Chain A
Amino acid sequence: MSVETGIAKIETRDLDFYYGPSRALKRVNISCHTNRVTAIIGPSGCGKSTFIRSLNRMNEVVPGTRMEGTILLDGHDIHASDVDVVELRRRVGMVFQKPNPFPKSIFDNIAYGLRINGLKDKRKLENVVERSLRGAALWEEVKDRLGENAFALSGGQQQRLCIARALAVEPEVILFDEPCSAIDPIATAKIEDLIETLEKSYTVVIVTHNMQQAARVSDYTAFMMLGELVEFDVTEKIFTNPANKLTEEYITGRFG
């Protein structure tokens, strides 16, 4: 399903997903466009995390799972035999639910993605680290202590560090899997501001539990329930004039 015309950056076609025998996604069709934020909302267990994790093939890490359907990135099947999953994940970055910095210094956390690609030049690394930290609005807070362990940062700062780490490898798409569920409201506000800035250069997909958050940051919203896509439309329309009765009941807080 597409709300916007033109070629989508990421598009799923009849996406099915199984954990063993149980079906977590049922024929989900969603398109995400460049320079737009697409939010996925829905009650717990509706499959929104499963959906977003299939976009960079992170679900393959879980044993006993199976996927059917097609996912296209720039029109190319991401499961095609000539696609290198390592390369795919470099293009489609991800920020997780809980901040998960490595037990390394702030600098080393951000340099990690470049070093695994063989970049050793100290000057270049320093440049990228600074650019990424600025991009994640964290530079001013940490510029004097890049050598400190990342665990010394607050939860909100750690999450922005993880965003900076994702930015460092210059992805085209950034997936946010409930990025604010483990941090306080002030830190949440900072990350929401950040997402709006990132929109200008990236394709952003965000899974969120928080409907206000979806309303604030996204251009398009998809409402999912029990593994099915119920409604997908312009965010404003979803929140003011939803077409589906279930969507209306969910956003007005009658369940969820």
Chain B
Amino acid sequence: MKKRKWASLKESAIRALFLTCGILAVLVLVGIFATLLTTAVPAFKEIHLSEFLLKKNWDPTSPEKAEYGILSMIVSTLMVTGGALLLAVPIGIGVAAYLSDVAHWRVREIVKPIVEILAGIPSVVVGFLGIVLFGPAIAKIFHIGNGLNAVNGSVLLAIMLLPTIISISEDSLNAVPQAYGEASLALGASQWQTLFRVKVPAALSGIIAACMLGMGRAIGETMTVLMATGNARAFPHGFLSSVRTMTANVAIELGEVPYDTTHYYALFAIGLVLFVMTFIVNLVADVILRKYQEREQ
């Protein structure tokens, strides 16, 4: 009898412990969001929201008239992110398909851990490569004076995204039941047809999730783009322009800005916009995933 009481006590103690952990995680998240929101909102006492989002000029320290338009930075962020996805998604899915279906299992056992280790390379190291290796190479290829531009940022971000996209896509291709592949082969389909008509569609939810995760990471990445894209404030004219992304701008200016000024609040407002963007990406990913899962059931 006593033993049983002790067991139930232990049970509820464990329950309480996990409940606390769960609440703590939620509290921290809510806290971060609340801080971001309360620090960002005062910026809009002086800046009109439409002006903030739609004006191209960002010059908060101008002696004549401070300007707080972040459109150039939004466009820069989208360009660098979009370029990175354009490079990383096809290559990533190709590598994942190779590893899951074509490669000898010994090759896979070696290559996959290496790819996953790539995810651990610090972003400052990737940025360094951008400055000394990719930047000069891009300058040479396109015959321009300066290789620190949007293309450079996209290439570096693509390298950083590849491990995530490859690893998760490969997992979801491997999770496709073997029976699908067998059924397809037994009907006289070639390995290619089986891969692209049966396996990739069946793994699509996982592949989309991988790309969305990559996109979220690309939007938020700071150090690499800060080092590699040149950080010009002007509105970008193309992929060979030097660009300043939203993250890079916050990182550059937040250390120097006086507290409790409109400029300070505006930087937090940029953070809020970033938060909203990644939130939308995740939401869309979630909706897509749910649609596919419903269809498969």
Contacts and interface: CB of A to CB of B under 8 A. Distances in A.
Interface of A: 56, 58, 61, 63, 86-87, 89-90, 93-94, 96, 98, 100-104, 112-113, 115-117, 149, 151, 162, 165-166, 169
Interface string B223-247: 0000000000000000000000000
B184 to A, nearest CB: 7
B197 A58 contact: no
Name which of B181, B186, B297 has the most chain A CB atoms within 10 A of its CB: B186
25 contacts: A58-B185, A61-B181, A61-B185, A63-B105, A86-B190, A87-B188, A90-B188, A93-B186, A98-B179, A100-B180, A100-B182, A100-B183, A102-B183, A102-B198, A103-B180, A112-B198, A113-B188, A113-B189, A116-B193, A117-B188, A162-B183, A165-B183, A166-B186, A169-B187, A169-B188
Interface of B is mostly: helix
Nearest to A112: B187
A89 B296 contact: no
Contacts of B202: 102-103
Contacts of B177: 100
Contacts of B184: 102, 112
Given A86-B188, A86-B189, A116-B197, A96 B183 contact: yes
Given A102-B198, A103-B296, A89 B185 contact: yes
Closest 3 CB pairs of A and B: A90-B188, A100-B179, A94-B186
A104 B105 CA distance: 29
Nearest to B296: A103
Contacts of B182: 58, 61, 96, 100
B187 A89 contact: yes
B295 interface: yes
Contacts of A90: 187-188
B99 to A, nearest CB: 15
A57 B202 CA distance: 25
Contacts of A101: 183
Name which of B180, B184, B188 has the most chain A CB atoms within 10 A of its CB: B188
Given A112-B189, A151-B296, 14 more contacts: A61-B181, A86-B190, A89-B187, A96-B179, A96-B182, A101-B183, A103-B180, A103-B201, A103-B296, A112-B197, A113-B187, A116-B187, A116-B188, A169-B188
Nearest to A64: B105
Contacts of A103: 180, 201-202, 295-296
Contacts of B188: 86-87, 89-90, 113, 116-117, 169
Given A98-B179, A100-B179, A151-B296, A58 B186 contact: yes
Interface string B130-147: 000000000000000000
B110 to A, nearest CB: 16
Nearest to B193: A116
B295 to A, nearest CB: 7
Contacts of B105: 63
Contacts of A115: 197
Interface string B79-117: 000000000000000000000000001000000000000
